[in-house]
Structures are given as C-alpha cells and as structure tokens.
Structure 1
Amino acid sequence: MAISARSLMEFPIPEARQTVSARDAILYALSVGYGTEPLDAAHLRRVLERDLLVVPTLANVVAHAGPWMQDAGVNWQRLVHAEQRLTIHRPLPLDRPLLSRSRMLSIVDRGADKGMFATFERSIVTLPEETPIASIVQTNACRGDGGCGSAGVPLDPLTPVPERVADAMFSIRVPRDAALLYRLNGDLNALHVDPAYAAQAGFPRPILHGLCTFGYAGYAIGRALGAEGIADVGFIAARFTSVVFPGDRLEVDIWREDREVYFRARVPERGVTALDYGNARLS
C-alpha cells in the first residue's frame, strides 16, 4: 500500500520488552567477533558467564519492536540500514526486565525514483524503575517508498573521519556463516540468508546484517585500542555506505583524538567502504 510521510510519522510503533540473559549476551558477543581468541582473557570476559562483561553494542538488538515498518506499509524487501547512532547511558543489566519505546523523528523524501530516509529513536529503560539504559537512533533507506513527502527535522550529519593517516588499523575476516549466527539475535530478515530473496532485492547473494558489521567495527576498535572490547564507550555511530557479504575481510581504520574515536570499515578485496563517518566517544 502507498504510504505518506504523515502516516509513517503517526504510526504507533509497538513497545517491546525483554529480559536479557547471560546466554543472550554471549550469543551476541560470539556473533560480532568475540571468542576467536579463546585463550585471551579479554575475549573470555565477553563469552564466559563467570564475571561476564556485556558488549555495549548489544543494546542495538535488545527489546526490538520487530518489523513494524513493514506493518506501516514500507516496501520491506527494498529497505536497507543507512545509519545507526547508539548512546549508552549505563551498562546493560542481565536478568532484569527491559522496556523500549520508539518514536519517529523524520522522513526525508528523495523522490519517487530514489526512495526516502526514515529516522526513528528507540529508548531502552529498566522496569519498573524506568532507569535509562540506552538510546538508539536508526535511519533506514526505504528504496521503494520515494514520493511520500518529508516530515520532521533531519539529524545533524555525523563528523567525517580525519583526512590524516589512521592511527591504527584492525583486520578481521567475517566468517562465511556470520549471518546465520547473527540472525539468532532476533533479526530474521530473509535478505540475510535466502539467495532467492536477496536476488529479488537486487543483491548477488545474501548480505550481512548492517548491525553485525557495526558490531564487528566496535570489536575492532576495542582490539586496536587495547581495551577490553569497547567497555568504556558512551556513544558509537556510523553510516552504512556499502554492503558486506559473509566471508568478506574487513579493515577498520581508527583515529584517536583524546576521548573521541573516529573509524571507517573497508572491504579491500572489493574496493568498497562499508562503514563511514564512524564516531565513538569514550566515557
């Protein structure tokens, strides 16, 4: 069905609840690179239930409202992730009820043949206290829904990475089964596993979840900076600029300026930049 900016801005995004277990946290960590060095103490802190240290980017997949944009009439098959901004207010607790509430922020119409950008915010709190845990601002590129009109106030752009040579680079090969594992965190979109569905969406084969690439970038930042993952991160964001396929090798360029970190993720074998405008802030 045809949608309008107004109908999407007013769509009642459902609340979502979840209690995160140690098993959930470990599954997520394994799906974004942790555990590849099982004798490394920093890796074990993320994948062993004893004294478990939760990966901050886990908040991206917690208490998710599901495919509500599909219910709102967006062409689900032609939707891709465009940008993600995650603010961590406090560490994500285990075995505590969590609630998320979402609201639309803006629609930017690029024309009937170019699609539109839809940006919404999801806030995660504990129950019953409603203590803030994380705020997620997500932008989706809805490639089949242009001409719907614009609404709301667009976000300020992310800061570009510095023009100088990067301070560090971390390389990691994404496993060929990465999407099959990552989808168990809750994103069951067939685009990431079904070759026929991916072909209908215009891709030669299933693509990696954007937030899986995002998680791998966070993992790379922690490894490159010598921290226990990204335990001290208060904010992390990036723009998705090209797809990643399971089996690709990621090279993450990292710049450090005091508590500010900038990053970019490349796929050198295909000559593309997968993540750009990467911004992180250490708390």
Structure 2
Amino acid sequence: MTLAYDDLIERRSEPRAYSYTDTQMLLYNISVGMGRDPTDPRELGYIYEKPELRVVPTAAAVLLSGDSSLLGNAPIDWARVLHGEQRIAFHRPIPPSGDLVSSSHISEVVDKGPDKGAIITVTVECALAGGEPLFTMDNVIFARGNGGLGGPEKSRHTPHALPERAPDMRFVTETRRDQAALYRLTGDRNPLHIDPAYAKRAGFPAPILHGLASYGITCRALLASVCDYDPARMKSFDCRFTSPVFPGETLESDIWVDGDIASFRVRVAERDVVALNNGRCLITN
C-alpha cells in the first residue's frame, strides 16, 4: 500500500479521554533535570507536591504519548523517520494531575520529492475534562522513505530566525549518563535509547537521548533563565531537532531575549554540534 497525500490529510481522531497523576509529573520533572540540587528552593516546587506541584510545561509532550492511532496503520517507513520539529502552545499551566480530552488531525503534509521524503505534521488539541483548553501541540516528523506522495512542496511554517548578535545568556546542563534510562519511564520505550546493539544497527555508536528529553531539558533552561521558574509565564515552546545527543553530554543553551520572545539554540559542548535550533519561546511578565 502506497502512502498518499489525500489519505493522510483527511485523517482525524475521535476525542479520547486520559487521566494522569502527580507521580507521572514528578517523574517527568526529574527526568528533564529538575531537582539536581534538591535543596534549591527554586526547583523544590517541581519535585515536591506541597503545597502544590509545579509542572515543566513540555510535559504536554508525554501526557498523550500512548496515542499513536492516527498514523499507526499508515504505510510509513518508520525505520527512516526522524523527529523534525516540536511546537506547543500552552493555554494554561499543566495541572499536577487531572483528566483530559484530546483529539488530533493531520494538519500539513509536505512532499519534498521521491528521493527526499515527506514532512508530516500531527496537531493535537488537548483540553481539561471540563472543556477548558490546555495546550495545542504540533508533532512534525520527517518520513525520509515516503517522498512522492503528492501535495504541497513547501511548508506554510518557516523556521524561527535567531538574532545575529551574541547570545544574551547561556545556560549549561550536564546530562546524566542514565538520562535516557530515566526519561524512557515517561512513556517512550524505543530501544534506540537503551539497547546498545539496537543503536548500532541504527547507525549510532551508542544509545541516543530522546529528542523530547533534550526538548524538556531545554525548557528547564528557559524556565530558569527567563521565567523565574514560573511555568505560567511560558506561553509557547518551539524548536527544530538537528542532531542527536548522547546521555552524559553537556548541553549549552544560548538564549536571546527580545521583548516577549526568547530565542534559543542548543549546542553539544563535547562535539560542537547544534542539537536544537531555531528555538522560539513566548513568555509573559
């Protein structure tokens, strides 16, 4: 069965109900680096549930990780799929626990050509059970083996341009050697992130860190640097994934602040490669 534009762009899911607990949010917060110093009062609210647990906003990316139904039966060459971008708009802070309702649809398909692949965007709308919007999320994948399916050749989204001046600040995070082993407990059990033999078959010298783990680690860097650790100040968080990260490497988050826009780029210090690029975070005072 051949992947076709008309089939993909018509795909929509029925609303689905989810529930989660503060234990899941505690685990997520710790898995992206919160509480490395448990006595730091600025981070204590992310690792201790009293008076009320705070949640790193990018936890939105794992709350619905079990829903793969929209593309589950599509004839996609998953062995050649890369996570291209992640975009989340936060309509309110993530509660420490709750009941949710979500629906998803294919919002864009871009055909780069038979030998170049296709870009597929899955948009997820998530609300609290009472109907209040919680977040809107775009998961963008690059299906390298599925070009030539038809449809537009250019995306309506353009990468966020970073300022040309020197960064206004830098936040350095030393990832843990066991970071991927910890992060996979939030829901992504892909063996690429834990099994050395599997990683080598995929072309990597060792298991790589989840892209969404790097995404969450960077969100922590922005919370600390420009939001005074207040998750309510973060209104959106977008970036492109440009290079894998290996657990134990050092991530340097370069940050530029222009009004309510914080731009960012993340570099792996040990290899001098950019892991996350064209980052844009909308913040409020």
Which band: TM-score by shorter chain? Answer: over 0.9
C-alpha distance in structure 2 between counterparts of 1:221 and 1:228, whole Å: 8
TM-score (norm 1): 0.93
Unaligned 5+ runs, structure 2: none
The offset of 1:231, in angstroms, is 4.1
The offset of 1:4, in angstroms, is 1.6
C-alpha distance in structure 1 between counterparts of 2:27 and 2:168, whole Å: 31
C-alpha distance in structure 1 between counterparts of 2:142 and 2:214, whole Å: 17
| Worse-superposed segment, 28-37 or 205-214 | 205-214
User: 1:33 corresponds to which residue?
Assistant: 33
Alignment of 1:57-72 (within 5 A): 57-68=58-69, 69-72=71-74
| Worse-superposed segment, 272-281 or 219-228 | 219-228
Q: Is the 8 A contact 2:193 2:199 kept in 1?
A: yes
Closer, same or farther: CA 133–279 of 1 in aligned 2, 3 Å: same
The offset of 1:61, in angstroms, is 1.2
C-alpha distance in structure 1 between counterparts of 2:226 and 2:19, whole Å: 31
User: 1:120 corresponds to which residue?
Assistant: 122
Aligned partner letter, 1:102: S
- Superimposed CA distance per residue, residues 31-59 of structure 1 (whole angstroms, 9 cap, x where no aligned partner): 11101011101111001111211111111
Q: Work out the percentage of aligned pairs sharing the same amino acid.
A: 37
User: 1:240 corresponds to which residue?
Assistant: 241
User: 2:135 corresponds to which residue?
Assistant: 134
The total of aligned residue pairs comes to 282
- Superimposed CA distance per residue, residues 226-265 of structure 1 (whole angstroms, 9 cap, x where no aligned partner): 6116441001100111111111110000011121100000
- Superimposed CA distance per residue, residues 110-138 of structure 1 (whole angstroms, 9 cap, x where no aligned partner): 223222111121011111x2210000012
Aligned partner letter, 2:219: G
User: 2:7 corresponds to which residue?
Assistant: 7
Matched, 1:272 2:273: yes
Alignment of 1:1-283 (within 5 A): 1-13=1-13, 15-50=15-50, 51-68=52-69, 69-127=71-129, 129-151=130-152, 154-225=155-226, 227-228=228-229, 230-283=231-284
C-alpha distance in structure 2 between counterparts of 1:14 and 1:269, whole Å: 45
The offset of 1:12, in angstroms, is 4.4
Closer, same or farther: CA 15–178 of 1 in aligned 2, 3 Å: farther
SS at match of 1:223: helix
Unaligned 5+ runs, structure 1: none
> Aligned Cα RMSD in Å?
1.9
